[in-house]
Amino acid sequence: MACQWRFIIWLFYISQVSADSGSISNVTGESNGTTFVEETIFTVPDDYDDTTKPGSPGVLLDVNCTAYISKLGPFSDKDMEFYISFVLLCGWKDERLPGSYNQRVMVDESKKKKIWRPNIWPMVHAKILKREDLLYPVLHPGSVVYLMQRFDFEVPCLMQLYTYPHDRQICSFILGFVGGIKVRWEPSPYFQSDSPIIISMPNVRPVFQIDKVDFNSFTLNVQSYGDTCIYQSGSCDYSGYADCIKMGIKCFKAENLNTTACLNCLQMGGKCKQQNPSQDCSPYLNKVNLVGDFHTTLEVRFALSRSLSYQILHTYVPSFFVVAISWVSFWLDPASVPARTGLGVTTVLTMVTLSTKVRPAPELNYIRAIDVWVISCKIFVVLALLEYAFVNYATRQTSKAPKSQQRTEDDGEVEKSFVANEDSLDGTSLQQLPGITFTGYQMAKKLDYVSRFVFPAAYIAFVATYFGVFTSSDRYQ
């Protein structure tokens, strides 16, 4: 469905382009008495050689490209890869094509020859799911050709999940070009934005948010990595896009398409700035025609930070409350065995259930932040249960002593001895009973009393440390 909508948006967009170009035939009209002719289709001549690159041999051909990212995600933690669908719009000058038109014309490749186009493929081991020319090439005044190609890739992205779900990831894709081409990221006349990387924000999977997009153009020699040289780089800031996520599907409705908010979200370019070229790559670029393994490459790097709402709702808040509920036990009478064991065991079991909902990552051989959280919460509820084991043991020390004195097995008697002991706690009769009984029961009460403060304090200290450590680190891995 979303796919169809994207197509419609493209049609919508293209219709604007072709409206500029006039109708698709020779139209003769009159305007202010002057006659004009519009020719809107250029058919590639038979003698056109589509195997050699335009321009003089030995001279690099400048190719300017813009990426329109129409879909980003899903990102898979398990397979360590992400899905990306984008339109690459590249423009170059081909002087073999006429430059006399004063407006854009369509290049008709359907019947006869095709025009030359750069050979592009993903560097890294991306899986190409789809690759197609999106539309006919368009010839602009001055023999500049623009071609839109759509690529669907599955690109590996080795994620470091130590701080999951507070992690930030860098995922990138690299495109390679061969054969004497100097390719650069440049904004294109086809988009309103002056950014070379345009993202359709409602189509970005919300599991991550895009903080920043870095782009680079560099030389790469597959035979010798020493020939790598960055000749263009820049960075786009995408921090102000939260509103677009909220717009979501609204922007795929025909009546909202022309609103400024939706146009900005569907073609979001971020705030980009080019960095001044740090290196002069001309010695490397001159090798282009000499070595077949020499490529110029375009790289896009997404700096992503994970959205926390899911984990907060489904892990942090529930487990926090389960641990807090386990402290209720310290306020209950040490003698109410069913209440306190029931509470203790229930909180432990609830924690176990909650922990199974946190997706395990057996393929990682390290502990993630979320695992630390879950294990710590389990330890806290287990300690609360163990605390009662001690308390109960201590109280039984109390009740045994009077029992043996009175030589009775009756529960009622035990109960009475409890009451007696409790009453006598602040009474003067303290000295009359054996010291051991009071020490045990007092210890139990004291342990409960101390636990009421120690457990919450320790847990809050843990929570503060946990969030302090994992949310403060701003750096990307």
Ligand X SMILES: *[C@@H]1O[C@H](CO)[C@@H](O)[C@H](O)[C@H]1NC(C)=O
Q: Under rule CB under 6 A, which residues in 259-278 are in contact with ligand X?
A: 259
| Sign of the four-CA dihedral 323, 324, 328, 334 | positive
Q: Which of 68, 75, 86, 92 binds ligand X (CB under 6 A)?
A: 92
Indicate whether 373 belongs to the interface with ligand X (CB under 6 A).
no
Indicate whether 286 belongs to the interface with ligand X (CB under 6 A).
no
The Cβ of residue 106 has, within 10 Å, a number of other Cβ atoms equal to 18
Q: Which of 54, 91, 118, 137 binds ligand X (CB under 6 A)?
A: 91
Q: Which of 69, 97, 126, 144 binds ligand X (CB under 6 A)?
A: 144
Spatial contact of 48 and 113, defined as CB atoms under 8 Å apart: yes
Q: Under rule CB under 6 A, which residues in 31-50 are in contact with ligand X?
A: 32, 34, 37, 39
- Nearest approach in angstroms of CB 140 to ligand X is 8
Interatomic CA distance for residues 5 and 410, integer angstroms = 79
Chain centroid offset of residue 222 CA: 30
Q: Which is nearer to ligand X, 17 or 354 (CB)?
A: 17
- Nearest approach in angstroms of CB 191 to ligand X is 14
CA nearest to 130, candidates 71, 204, 213: 71
Six token digits for residue 2: 């979303």
Q: Which is nearer to ligand X, 9 or 159 (CB)?
A: 9
- Nearest approach in angstroms of CB 112 to ligand X is 15
Q: Which of 10, 22, 62, 191 binds ligand X (CB under 6 A)?
A: 62
Indicate whether 64 belongs to the interface with ligand X (CB under 6 A).
yes
Q: Which is nearer to ligand X, 139 or 210 (CB)?
A: 139
Spatial contact of 179 and 53, defined as CB atoms under 8 Å apart: yes
Helix (H, G, I), strand (E, B) or coil at 295: strand
Chain centroid offset of residue 469 CA: 20
Six token digits for residue 169: 């990831």
- Give percent helix, percent strand, percent coil of the chain, each to the nearest 5: 40, 30, 30
Indicate whether 422 belongs to the interface with ligand X (CB under 6 A).
no
Kindly give the residue spans of alpha helices, DSSP state H, lying in 358-409: 369-406
Indicate whether 252 belongs to the interface with ligand X (CB under 6 A).
no
Q: Under rule CB under 6 A, which residues in 181-200 are in contact with ligand X?
A: 186
Q: Which is nearer to ligand X, 101 or 241 (CB)?
A: 101
| Sign of the four-CA dihedral 110, 113, 116, 121 | positive
Indicate whether 473 belongs to the interface with ligand X (CB under 6 A).
no
Q: Which is nearer to ligand X, 41 or 80 (CB)?
A: 41
